[in-house]
Chain A
Amino acid sequence: MSKYSEHPAVARTVLVKGDTSYEAITEIVHRPAITKPPKWWHIGLSAGITGIALLFSMIGYLLFEGVGVWGLNNPVGWGYAIVNFVFWVGIGHAGTLISAILFLFRQNWRTSINRFAEAMTIFAVICALIFPGIHIGRVWAAHWLFPIPNQMAMWPNFRSPLLWDVFAVSTYFTVSLLFWFVGLVPDLATFRDRAKTKISKFVYGIFSLGWRGSSRHWLHYEKAYLLLAALATPLVLSVHSIVSFDFAVSQVPGWHTTIFPPYFVAGAIFSGFAMVVTLMVVARKLFGLESMITDRHLEIMNMIILATGTMVGYAYAMEFFVAWYSGNVVEQYAFVNRAFGPYWWAYWIMVSCNVISPQLFWFKKIRTTPWLMFVVTIFVNIGMWFERFVITVTSLSRDFLPSSWGYYSPTWVDVMTFVGSFGLFFTLLLLFMKFLPMIAISEIKAVLPHDHADHETNKGGSNE
């Protein structure tokens, strides 16, 4: 055997630091559920609920007045609502990637962050689902989005990617929720057993499905988890591919380009990871989880942000190159217009946030310093919103008929609806942090250093 396997240049790092007894880990993760929430939590929750109130009053106003309260015009028929939809769905990609793909790739470091990322995924998809729902105009007929047999023999257009979106996103939501819930069951049982009040014991008891931790339970659990991981893996690719089809099947220059599906998927993972890091940096500090979500965890996530951000940069560059190479004047114009037309500011915000800012993660100092990575990931979040804005609006505002060219500006209703959706997102997140285990207790216990004392090379995977 190699005498150098423990050499600092190649040694595997320990995934959990500090007190690594089973008891201590359960204690840390369970603490928020039985202690009185701190002040910042109440303030955050009130702000979140205010956001929800804002969101729903904007929706109410929209339903009362009609879509005219938005900034949409002719030719820009897709504005904030679609941008926000794609933005939120994109953020909802980190969870499944971490739980499914990283699971299949045996990336054990995921055990510290998967629960949180999955929860965030579900909340982001909930926010996303609102926007197409209220965009359809006649909200009371929203169920017509689904192919429900009816006496008028009227069906949605099966050839439209918008319909595939309905299937793709709802499948994604269902599978993500199931995956999250299955993973939660053993931990919910822990919460049930440690509950202090009758009510919480009852509620956790119901959701832990009678889990007693017998080996038969574990056997079924592991099987279910593996199967759901395999089922969720194609979904990571399919959802955002189909979202990209919404644009790319058209003939609109700037929308119709063949690299769109993988480019959208890379962008979604990019934005999802950025959001996870943004939230994680804060959450681990507030709840004292640094022993389990170590700097190394954040560093690896930042490296994934760097990788996917560079893929997005590749796609931007390839689009530009091929537009030039194609010799097609319309195609060329669409891209020149993006960078130097009336929306130049949005384009350059997008490029600097999405392509340039993640490159800062080449520096170890930046990808391991919490406040620095917080700043970078905020930029990425902003950049990925602007990416969808640039794609949606610049191409539409200069469509095939120069006589109908226009400029799109959002109204205050557009902006407030978007702001309100953050209220919904953060409310759900704060409730999750209070009442549910933020870290997968049973999974992280499997990667503790002392569990592998006899197995020195398989210390739980992560590496320096």
Chain B
Amino acid sequence: MKSVEVKAEQLSGRFSKFTQIHVAVAAIFGLVSLVLVNSQANHGLPMYLSVFMFFLTITLGGLFWVTIFHLTRSGWSVVVRRLFEHLMNRVGLMALLFIPIVLGLHGLYEWTHEAHVMHDHLLQVKAPYLNQPFFIVRSIVYFIVWFVLARGFFNDSTQQDINGDPLLTARSQKRSTYGILLYAITISFAGIDWIMTLTPHWYSTMFGVYIFAGAALSSLCMVSLLALFLRRNGFLSTVISVEHYHDLGKLIYGFVIFWAYIGFSQYFLIWYANIPEETMFYLSRNTAAWKAVSLMLVFGHFLVPFVLFMSRHMKRNRVIHACIAAWILLMHAIDMVWLVLPTFYPNGYMPTVLDIAIIIALAAAYGAAVWKGLDTVALFAHQDPRVDESMRFENV
């Protein structure tokens, strides 16, 4: 029997300075944003929501993959699972970052304007769902569900690092069954509440699935990038092998297609039936400056990675793998902007200094939290009962 040596790896403060820089940048740009919010006519909320959704989808994608790995008793993924767990564990930070959205509800959601609702029959009809107290209650419920699930998985996994108890795996597997149900409901309705109700007249049954597709894809890309970055710095290089990158690449490729499938189905059915109350969503995105962005998504988010990432060679080449993962993350960011901004600026938009400050602040805050998290526990689940299977696996 071939036996592999599993040695725990730890960052042990290697990136503490890096983390501190992240914190400092987040603090500075957070302050800059706060100052600029009041001094500029543009309040920056739409961009804030886009960037928030970008990081939220990555976080929830992490939760999805951890759940699905447990649900399917996946063996190959054990050595990369910890990285997904770190993304998933950012739910608390995202809840904190949600506060500005609650404070800015009025600036984002048309249905919060009572004067406006008075003259809009449809919004009056929808008032039982679209009202502020219910909206906030729902949002709190989503965060509680995510937090409880993520905490449960994370605690089990890190506790196993110490005692190697296989019953912890069994418990996580159990949690994953009802977890995936709660997850499906909450991510769908969070997507509907936070993004779809920006255009409160518009509706699409596919919307929740669209948000999910982006979440699953972006978290895979983020994990690939994280792992490759750690590898460059000498971590996990004997643990996460080219076979794991190959598998991550296959999943990225699959979800590039899944995203396109969902996006296309939604667009196509609305385009074909051509009913005004549905087409309005795409009308503002297919005219003026937004048309270029829509096309960029078609090509950049789907066609380019579809062609480039098809071959085995591309998935196994670390440099190309990293470039494509980064590219897809950029496209995912544009997708989130595309979902939010055209509603507010139908004629196109040029980011302001405030927007850029918001992007940097949120990215640095998220980065700091991820690096802090990585530093606190072992870099991979070295006591997982299936860790040998994962380290030994090969694509044949």
Which residue of A9, A234, A310, A458 is within 8 Å of B166 (Cβ)? A9
Q: Report Cα–Cα, A249/B386, bound state, in Å.
A: 47
- Contact check, B2 vs A9: say whether CB atoms are below 8 A apart: no
Expressed in whole angstroms, the minimum distance between the Cβ of A72 and any Cβ of chain B is: 24
Docked-complex contact A258 and B166, CB < 8 angstroms: no
B73 lies within 8 A of A463 (CB): yes
Q: Which of B194-215 contact A (CB under 8 A)?
A: 203-209
| Interface of B, helix, strand, loop or mixed by DSSP | helix
Count of chain B residues near A, Cβ 8 A: 54
Query: For the complex, is B262 an interface residue (Cβ under 8 Å from A)?
Result: yes
Known contacts A3-B164, A256-B273; A262/B265 CB under 8 A: yes
Q: Are A2 and B6 in contact (CB under 8 A)?
A: yes
Q: Which of A235-276 contact B (CB under 8 A)?
A: 237, 241, 245, 248-251, 256-262
A245 to B122: give the CA distance in the assembly, Å: 29
Does the CB pair A327–B170 fall under 8 Å? Answer: no
Mark the stretch among A87-95, A317-325, A420-428, A436-444 that contacts chain B: A317-325
What residues of A have a CB within 8 angstroms of the CB of B218 in the complex? Answer: none
**From residue B131, how far is it (CB to closest CB) to chain A in Å?**
13
**Residue interface bits A442-464, CB-to-B below 8 A is 1, else 0:** 00000000000011111000011
| A-side contacts of B227, CB under 8 Å | none
Within 8 A of A (CB), among B359-391: 383-389
Asked whether, in the complex, the Cβ of B261 is within 8 Å of the Cβ of A457, the reply is no
Instruction: Establish whether residues B75 and A318, one from each chain, have CB atoms under 8 Å apart when the complex forms.
Output: no
Cβ A455 vs Cβ B2 within 8 A: yes
Chain B 172-188 interface mask (CB, 8 Å, partner A; 1/0): 00000100010011001
Q: Are A327 and B388 in contact (CB under 8 A)?
A: no
Q: A1-B3, A258-B269, A463-B73 are in contact. Are A319 and B205 (CB under 8 A)?
A: yes
In the bound complex, CA of A10 to CA of B165 (Å)? 10
Report whether A4 and B262 are in contact in the complex, using a CB–CB cutoff of 8 Å.
no
CB distance from B206 to the nearest CB of A (A): 4
Chain A residue numbers with a CB within 8 Å of B268 are 245, 249
A249 touches B126 (CB 8 A): no
Q: Distance (Å) between the CB of B136 and the closest chain A CB?
A: 18
B386 with A322: CB separation less than 8 A: no
Option from A3, A5, A249, A454 in Cβ contact (under 8 Å) with B272: A249
Residues of chain A lying within 8 A (CB to CB) of residue B169: 9-10
Instruction: Give the distance to chain A from B14, nearest Cβ to Cβ, in Å.
Output: 26
| B356 lies within 8 A of chain A by Cβ | no
- Report chain A residues within 8 Å CB of B166: 4, 7, 9-10
Tally inter-chain residue pairs, CB-CB below 8 A.
Answer: 117
| A439–B268 alpha-carbon span in the complex (Å) | 41
Verify if A215 is at the interface (C-beta below 8 Å from B).
no
Q: Kindly state the separation between the CA atoms of A142 and B318 in the bound complex, as whole angstroms.
A: 53
Residues of chain B contacted by A7 (CB below 8 angstroms): 166, 385
| Interfacial chain B residues near A9, Cβ < 8 Å | 166-167, 169-170, 385
Chain A neighbourhood of B76, CB < 8 A: 106
Q: Cβ of B205 and Cβ of A318 under 8 Å apart?
A: yes
- Cα–Cα distance between A310 and B389 once the two chains are bound (Å): 31
Determine whether the beta carbon of A10 is less than 8 Å from that of B277.
no
Cβ–Cβ contact B384 & A326, under 8 A: no
* In the complex, A202 has a CB within 8 A of chain B: no
Contact B203 A326 (CB under 8 A): yes
Chain A 1-32 interface 0/1 with B at a Cβ cutoff of 8 Å (1 = within)? 11111010110000000000000000000000
Assuming the A-B contacts A4-B164, A10-B170, A256-B269, are A327 and B126 also in contact, with contact meaning beta carbons closer than 8 angstroms in the complex?
Answer: yes
Are B389 and A249 within 8 A (Cβ)?
no
**Contact residues in B for A249 (Cβ distance below 8 Å):** 268-269, 272-273
Q: Which chain B positions have C-beta within 8 A of A319? A: 205
Is the pair B273, A10 in contact by a Cβ cutoff of 8 Å?
no
Which A residues touch B393, using CB under 8 A?
Answer: 458
The reply to whether the CB of B1 lies closer than 8 angstroms to some CB of chain A is: yes
A-B complex: 5 closest residue pairs judged by Cβ atoms? A457-B389, A259-B205, A258-B206, A463-B73, A7-B166
* B residues whose Cβ falls under 8 Å from a Cβ of A: 1-6, 73, 75-76, 122, 125-126, 129, 164-167, 169-170, 177, 181, 184-185, 188, 192, 203-209, 250, 257, 261-262, 265-266, 268-270, 272-273, 275, 277, 383-389, 392-393
- Jot down 30 A-B pairs with beta carbons below 8 A, ordered by A: A1-B4, A1-B388, A2-B383, A2-B384, A4-B164, A9-B167, A9-B385, A10-B385, A251-B273, A256-B275, A258-B204, A258-B266, A258-B269, A258-B270, A259-B204, A259-B206, A260-B269, A262-B206, A314-B185, A314-B188, A319-B205, A322-B203, A325-B126, A325-B129, A325-B192, A455-B1, A456-B1, A457-B388, A457-B389, A458-B393
